[in-house]
C-alpha cells in the first residue's frame, strides 16, 4: 500500500489483483468502516460480492452512522457527522455509490449539488444569558501565552505526548479562550482528552481556523446519515451479492502468531443465540472493527432517563480477546475503562410537534427551520451552561417520513457531573422532558412556557452512550493496533480505534481511510490511497492561521520589544516587492 495525491491516481482504475478470485473476506461490523471495506473489495479489489461476508451484532447496519424511527419512542439520532471538502477517501468512496433518489447521480454528486445550493453558515455559533449572542462572537480571544502554547504543542513530536491530557499542556489562558470554546464544542474535546489527538487535529484542520465561528467549512447530508449514506451503500452491496448477517456477535478471532507471522485461523461467533465457528486460511481475509463509541447505548423516554448500567459490549470483548493473543493488537482498556465521570455520555433527540419554540430558534439562527435550508450549520454552544449544553438542527425534514409540522433537534452535554441551570439534576439523571426543558431555557423561552412545551408540544428521547468520546482518551504509541499489524497475512483492523498516520479520529474520513488502507494492503491493490490533506504543510494556510490566531492583527500592529521591532523593520525592507510580501498580503498580515 502506498499513498498518493493528484488527479492521476485519483481517477485511475487499478488492475485486478493477482489471486483475488481465490480469496474471500469476512468483515466484523457493518459501520461505515466495514461497509467501506466491502465496497473497496468489490470496486478496487474486484472481488466477487458473494465472497464477502459482513457480520453485524445489531439487527441493522450503520454502526454509529444512525438515524432511526422507533415505533415506541419516535425519532432517534445519537449524533451528526460534520464533513468537509478534504475528506479525500470519503469522497473517493461515495463517487462510486449510486444515489437512491437520482439514478443518474452518485451520492457524492447529490451531496455536492446540495451543499453548493445550500452552503453551511452559522449565524449563532455561541449563545449565553438565555439566547443572547456572545459579545465576542467571531473573536478567538487568544492571549500571546495561549498562542505560544498552541505552537509548542504542534512542534512537540507525537511520541513525546504519550498519555498526556489537554489540560496538562494548556493553561487557563487557552482553556478560557473562545478558540477552545469553538474547538472543543465543534469536535467534542474535553479538557482531559488526549493531547496527542489535539495536536493531530490542529495540524489536520488548521485550514478551518478562519471559519471556527461560522462553520462555513462544513458540509452536511440532506437527511440523517443513515438514510443519506448508509442506505445507498447497503443497496449497492446487496445488489453485488454481499452477504450481510445480523444479530451476530463475534466472540473471538484466533490468530496463529508463530514463525514471525500473523494468520487468522478461526472466527468464533454467536448468531441468534447459536454458536458457530468458521475455519480460515490465508486466502480468507478478515477485517475487524475493534471497539465502538456507540456500543452499549441505552435509551430513555419523555418520563424516564436513559439507564446508565450497561454491559461492556461485543466489540470491546472481541478486542480484549484478540489483544490477549498479541501485544501488537493494541490495548483496549485504555479506551473503554476509567473514563472520567464528567465526560459527555448523554445526547437527546427532541421532536417538536408544532411551532411553539420556532421564534426562539429563528432569533438565534436567523433562519426559518421549515425552509429546507440547513438551520444551525453545526452546533450552537451555550457558554454559560453547567453541562456545556449544545444543540444542532439539520436540514428539515431530517427524516424522509417526518411530518411537515415536526422539527428534529439534537442536543448534547459535554459535562455530566454538574446540575443543570434550569433543571437541578445531572444530565445523566434527566428524563426526556427535562432535557428539553433545559434546552428551551437556554434558547430564551420564557420560564412559564417551558414545562408546557416540553410535556405537550415535543417528544424527547435521551441516549446514554458510555464510550462516545473514548476515541479521545489519553493514549500512547502502540495502544491502537496498526491497520495491518506487522507480519499479518490475512488480518486487518479498521475503524477509529486503529492507527494510521496524520489523520484524526471521530471522523467519517478516518473510518473510510483505514478500510481503504486495509483492503489495498491485504490485496496488494496497485493504486495509491489518497494522502491526508496537507494543510499543515501549506504556507498560505499557515500564514492565514497566524492572522486569525493573533486576533486578525497585521504584522505592524503586533506589539514587539524594541530589538525585535528593529529586526522586523529590516526584514520587511528585504521582502518588499517580493513573492513573500505577496503571500503576507494574501494572508492579510500586511
Cβ–Cβ < 8 Å for 166, 474: no
Cβ–Cβ < 8 Å for 240, 96: no
Could you confirm whether 299 is annotated as catalytic?
Answer: no
Q: Which residue in the block uniquely carries the three cell numbers 456507540?
A: 294
Query: What is the sign, positive or negative, of the torsion defined by CA atoms of 576, 578, 581, 582?
Result: positive
Q: Which of 75, 182, 201, 471 is catalytic?
A: 201
Cβ–Cβ < 8 Å for 154, 243: no
Could you confirm whether 56 is annotated as catalytic?
Answer: no
CB environment 220-253: b (16+ within 10 A), e (fewer): bbbbbbbbbbbbbbbebbeebebbbeeebbbebb
Q: Which residue in the block uniquely carries the three cell numbers 441551570?
A: 421
> Which among 344, 501, 511, 539 has a CA at the least distance from the CA of 427?
344
Sheet holding 274-279, edge to edge: 248-256, 263-271, 274-279
> Which among 69, 164, 131 has a CA at the least distance from the CA of 383?
131
Q: State how far the Cα of 519 lies from the Cα of 34, in Å rounded to an integer.
A: 11
- Cell numbers for 349, please give them: 433527540
- Cell numbers for 427, please give them: 444530565
Cβ–Cβ < 8 Å for 334, 479: yes
Q: State how far the Cα of 520 lies from the Cα of 525, in Å rounded to an integer.
A: 5
Exposure on the CB side of residue 496, measured as CA atoms within 13 A: 23
User: Please, which residues have CB within 8 angstroms of residue 157's CB and are 6 or more apart in sequence?
Assistant: none
Q: State how far the Cα of 102 lies from the Cα of 105, in Å rounded to an integer.
A: 6
> Which among 143, 144, 157 has a CA at the least distance from the CA of 203?
157
Q: Tell me the residue ranges of DSSP E strands in 379-495.
A: 380-382, 389-392, 407-413, 458-464, 491-494
Q: Which residue in the block uniquely carries the three cell numbers 499489524?
A: 485
DSSP-derived 3-state class of residue 341: coil
> Which among 294, 290, 288, 289 has a CA at the least distance from the CA of 467?
294
> Which among 251, 249, 254 has a CA at the least distance from the CA of 325?
254
- Cell numbers for 492, please give them: 486487518
Please state at what angle helix 508-523 crosses helix 32-43, rounded to 10 degrees.
40
Q: Tell me the residue ranges of DSSP E strands in 300-404.
A: 346-352, 380-382, 389-392
- Cell numbers for 199, please give them: 495536536
Q: State how far the Cα of 306 lies from the Cα of 465, in Å rounded to an integer.
A: 9
Q: Which residue in the block uniquely carries the three cell numbers 462555513?
A: 216
Q: Which of 26, 56, 57, 82 is catalytic?
A: 82
Q: State how far the Cα of 329 lies from the Cα of 379, in Å rounded to an integer.
A: 35
- Cell numbers for 583, please give them: 503571500
Active site members: 82, 201
Amino acid at each position: 500500500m502506498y499513498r498518493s495525491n493528484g488527479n492521476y491516481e485519483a481517477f485511475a482504475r487499478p488492475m485486478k489483483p493477482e489471486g483475488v478470485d481465490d480469496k474471500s473476506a469476512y468483515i466484523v461490523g457493518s459501520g461505515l468502516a466495514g461497509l467501506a471495506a466491502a465496497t473497496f473489495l468489490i470496486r478496487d479489489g474486484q472481488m466477487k460480492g458473494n465472497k464477502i461476508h459482513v457480520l453485524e451484532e445489531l439487527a441493522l447496519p450503520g454502526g454509529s452512522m444512525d438515524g432511526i424511527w422507533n415505533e415506541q419512542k419516535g425519532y432517534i439520532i445519537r449524533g451528526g457527522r460534520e464533513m468537509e471538502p478534504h475528506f479525500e477517501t470519503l469522497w473517493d468512496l461515495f463517487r462510486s455509490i449510486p444515489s437512491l433518489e437520482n439514478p443518474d447521480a452518485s451520492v457524492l454528486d447529490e451531496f455536492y449539488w446540495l451543499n453548493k445550493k445550500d452552503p453551511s453558515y452559522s449565524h449563532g455559533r455561541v449563545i449565553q444569558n438565555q439566547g443572547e449572542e456572545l459579545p465576542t462572537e467571531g473573536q478567538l480571544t487568544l492571549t500571546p501565552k495561549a498562542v505560544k502554547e498552541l505552537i509548542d504543542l504542534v512542534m512537540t513530536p507525537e511520541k513525546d505526548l504519550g498519555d498526556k491530557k489537554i489540560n496538562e499542556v494548556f493553561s487557563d489562558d487557552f482553556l478560557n479562550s473562545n478558540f477552545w470554546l469553538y474547538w472543543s464544542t465543534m469536535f467534542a474535546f474535553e479538557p482531559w482528552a488526549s493531547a496527542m489527538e489535539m495536536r493531530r487535529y490542529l495540524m489536520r484542520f488548521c485550514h478551518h481556523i478562519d471559519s471556527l465561528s461560522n462553520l462555513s467549512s462544513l458540509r452536511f447530508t440532506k437527511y440523517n446519515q443513515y438514510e443519506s449514506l448508509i442506505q445507498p451503500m447497503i443497496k449497492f452491496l446487496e445488489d453485488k451479492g454481499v452477504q450481510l448477517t445480523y444479530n451476530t456477535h463475534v466472540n473471538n478471532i484466533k490468530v496463529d502468531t508463530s514463525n514471525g507471522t500473523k494468520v487468522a485461523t478461526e472466527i468464533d461467533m454467536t448468531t441468534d443465540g447459536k454458536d458457530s465457528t468458521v475455519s480460515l486460511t490465508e486466502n480468507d481475509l478478515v477485517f475487524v472493527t475493534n471497539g465502538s463509541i456507540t456500543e452499549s447505548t441505552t435509551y430513555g423516554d419523555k418520563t424516564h432517563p436513559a439507564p446508565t448500567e450497561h454491559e461492556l459490549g461485543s466489540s470491546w470483548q472481541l478486542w480484549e480477546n484478540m489483544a490477549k493473543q498479541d501485544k501488537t493488537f493494541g490495548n483496549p482498556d485504555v479506551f473503554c475503562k476509567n473514563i472520567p465521570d464528567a465526560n459527555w455520555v448523554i445526547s437527546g433527540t427532541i421532536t417538536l410537534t408544532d411551532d411553539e419554540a420556532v421564534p426562539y430558534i429563528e432569533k438565534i439562527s436567523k433562519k426559518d427551520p421549515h425552509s429546507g435550508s440547513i438551520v444551525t450549520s453545526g452546533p450552537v454552544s451555550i457558554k454559560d451552561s453547567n453541562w456545556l449544553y449544545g444543540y444542532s438542527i439539520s436540514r428539515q425534514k431530517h427524516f424522509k417520513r417526518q411530518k411537515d409540522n415536526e422539527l428534529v433537534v439534537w442536543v448534547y452535554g459535554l459535562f455530566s457531573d454538574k446540575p443543570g441551570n434550569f433543571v437541578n439534576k445531572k444530565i445523566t439523571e434527566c428524563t426526556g422532558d427535562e432535557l428539553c426543558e433545559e434546552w428551551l431555557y437556554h434558547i430564551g423561552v420564557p420560564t412559564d412556557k417551558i414545562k408546557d412545551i416540553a410535556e405537550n408540544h415535543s417528544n424527547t428521547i435521551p441516549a446514554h452512550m458510555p464510550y462516545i468520546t473514548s476515541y479521545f482518551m489519553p493514549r500512547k504509541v502502540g495502544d491502537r493496533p496498526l491497520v495491518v499489524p506487522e507480519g499479518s497475512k490475512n488480518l486487518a483492523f479498521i475503524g477509529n480505534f486503529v492507527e494510521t498516520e496524520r489523520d484524526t479520529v471521530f471522523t467519517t474520513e478516518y473510518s473510510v481511510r483505514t478500510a481503504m488502507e486495509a483492503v489495498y494492503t491485504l490485496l496488494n491493490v496497485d493504486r495509491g490511497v489518497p494522502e491526508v490533506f496537507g494543510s499543515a504543510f501549506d504556507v498560505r494556510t499557515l500564514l492565514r492561521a497566524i492572522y486569525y490566531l493573533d486576533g486578525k492583527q497585521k504584522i505592524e500592529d503586533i506589539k514587539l520589544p524594541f530589538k525585535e521591532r528593529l529586526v522586523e523593520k529590516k526584514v520587511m525592507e528585504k521582502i518588499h516587492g517580493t513573492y513573500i510580501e505577496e503571500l503576507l498580503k494574501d494572508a492579510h498580515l500586511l
